[in-house]
Structure 1
Amino acid sequence: MKSTAHIKPEGVEIAETVLLPGDPLRAKFIAETFLTDVVQFNTVRNMFGFTGTYNGKRISVMGSGMGMPSIGIYSWELINVFGCKNLIRIGSCGAMQKELNLYDVVIGMGASTNSNYASQYNFNGTYSAIASWDLLNKAVKVAEEKNTPVTVGNILSSDIFYNADPNAMKPWMDMGVLAVEMEAAALYMNAAKFGVNALCILTVSDSLITHEETTPEERQTAFTKMMEIALELA
């Protein structure tokens, strides 16, 4: 039976399409709320993973943890050990443009980053981490069918949550970057490296403009619009 140091499914199926919320409790919520015939495939480090059925299709959901090192590990193993083909991050983000409000849905067409993650590839330049067109196109169409407004564009995957520089986000804002999160760039790079599909769908949990914010409980259970879009991509 396939297993790694971080994922031990004990023979339980992991579907080709995996939703990756950062919070393992959000993974549990999605499995209990939207899936049928659910079986848990991972409990290592309390990074819960579940496989179930949604509209007749098998789909998995698993926590990815916070930051690019964490999602980098889990996505690498899901792709290279367990054969997953479609990896969809569903997470929270901080709005960096005034037109974005709490609970708005943002889709990351590209993921800029202040991380050194790309250094492993020895580029003689700057790599653009972008989503898979197939998943991006499908997600926008699903959102239109559900009458769910989405904003598509560039996001920032930051290694730093508490930045010592109070003006660190301003240059990104000035370049029109929509929102900041902490994982998508690594996911997009891993997917590109190994020839699979990846997409990041986010819900605005707080605003760097207005300083409004949601509660941890709301982030865990109330961000259902992005979940419903992602589930339709299986």
Structure 2
Amino acid sequence: MTIHIGAAPGDIAETVLMPGDPMRAKWAAERFLDAPRQVNAVRGMLGFTGNWRGDPVTIHGSGMGMASLSIYANELLRDYGAKTLIRIGSTGAMQPHVALRDVILAMTASSVGTPSSTIFRELNYAPCADWGLLRSAVAAAEARGVPHHVGGIYSSDTFYDERPDLNEQMTRHGILAVEMETAEMYTLAARHGARALSVLTVSDHLQTGEALPSEDREAGFGDMVEIALEAAFA
């Protein structure tokens, strides 16, 4: 039991999927895991552990933003022995060839700053995905016929961004999409010798203004969860 996770020793699997929304963790656990049981509810951040095709899996919320994810990822890695973290969440597309409901497999994650930035001082650390997970996720997406894109994303530390100049430069340099957690997750996984990958579903588009209605989002997120699980146990 830690400050933010009330799970007992042995309650957390070595493979953890991390959606931002705790209710999405509940939805994914009930839909994709066998015999899921709730292992955390501290501060309303839900976590569930069950089995997927016989392998133990925990699905645990991270909250929104790198600061929130950092709390849970640190405790999962340091105190509960997690070895694989896979973020499953929504993202906003930044390239014209990326469409709503497409899956983004984040190879790298750029950021203005993360909770870990002060450790590196003058160094611009480059957070990246685990190659084995990324390769397996690509294979899973191809096998399922899911439209997907592999490349760099942007982890923002603000939701209501007012930097159109920065967005323009990121689009110019090929950044596929924006979200709020991956850069810190990749950094923490590297620090603790763990694997990490973000598998994201495009829910809105910064260039076109398109967005999935809230009632359509969950229906389109099943492929993302399946790809994440297949990548974890390939």
- What TM-score range do you get, normalising by the shorter chain? over 0.9
Residues 113-147 of structure 1 deviation map (CA, whole Å, 9 limit, x = unaligned)? 11243423234321111001111111111112222
1:130 paired residue number: 128
Residue in 2 that maps onto 1:112: 110
- The superposition leaves residues 78-133 of structure 1 with CA deviations (integer Å, 9 ceiling, x where unpaired) of 00000000000011000000001110000000000112434232343211110011
SS at match of 2:135: helix
**When the two structures are superposed, what TM-score results if normalisation uses the length of structure 2?**
0.95
**In structure 2, which of residues 164, 167, 172 is the aligned counterpart of residue 169 of structure 1?**
167
Equivalenced residue count is: 232
1:9-32 per-position Cα deviation (integer Å, ceiling 9, x unaligned)? 145621100000001111101111
Residue 60 to residue 188, structure 1, CA distance change in 2 (3 Å) = same
**TM-score scaled by structure 1?**
0.95
1:67 to 32, 45, 65: 65
Which of 7, 10, 29 is equivalent to 1:9?
A: 7
Please name the residue that 2:96 is paired with: 98
What is the aligned partner in structure 2 of residue 160 from structure 1? 158
CA offsets 1:17-61 (integer angstroms, 9 cap, x no match): 000000111110111111111111000111110001111111110
Q: 2:191 maps to what in 1?
A: 193
Cα offset, 1:221, TM superposition: 4.7
1:36 has 2:29 as partner: no
Aligned-pair distance for 1:205? Answer: 0.5
Structure 2 residue ranges without an equivalent (≥5): none
Identity %: 47
Cα distance in structure 2, aligned partners of 1:166 and 1:173: 10
Q: Does 1:21 align with 2:14?
A: no
- Given the superposition, is the C-alpha separation of residues 164 and 147 from structure 1 closer, same or farther in structure 2, using an over 3 Å criterion? closer
Q: Aligned-pair distance for 1:169?
A: 0.8
Corresponding residue for residue 52 of structure 1: 50
In 2: Cα distance, 1:193 partner to 1:184 partner: 14
In 1, distance between residues paired with 2:36 and 2:163? 45
* 1:148 aligned residue: 146
Distance in 2 of aligned mates of 1:223 and 1:142: 15
CA contact (8 A) 2:66 2:114 kept: no
What RMSD, in angstroms, separates the aligned Cα atoms of the two structures?
1.4
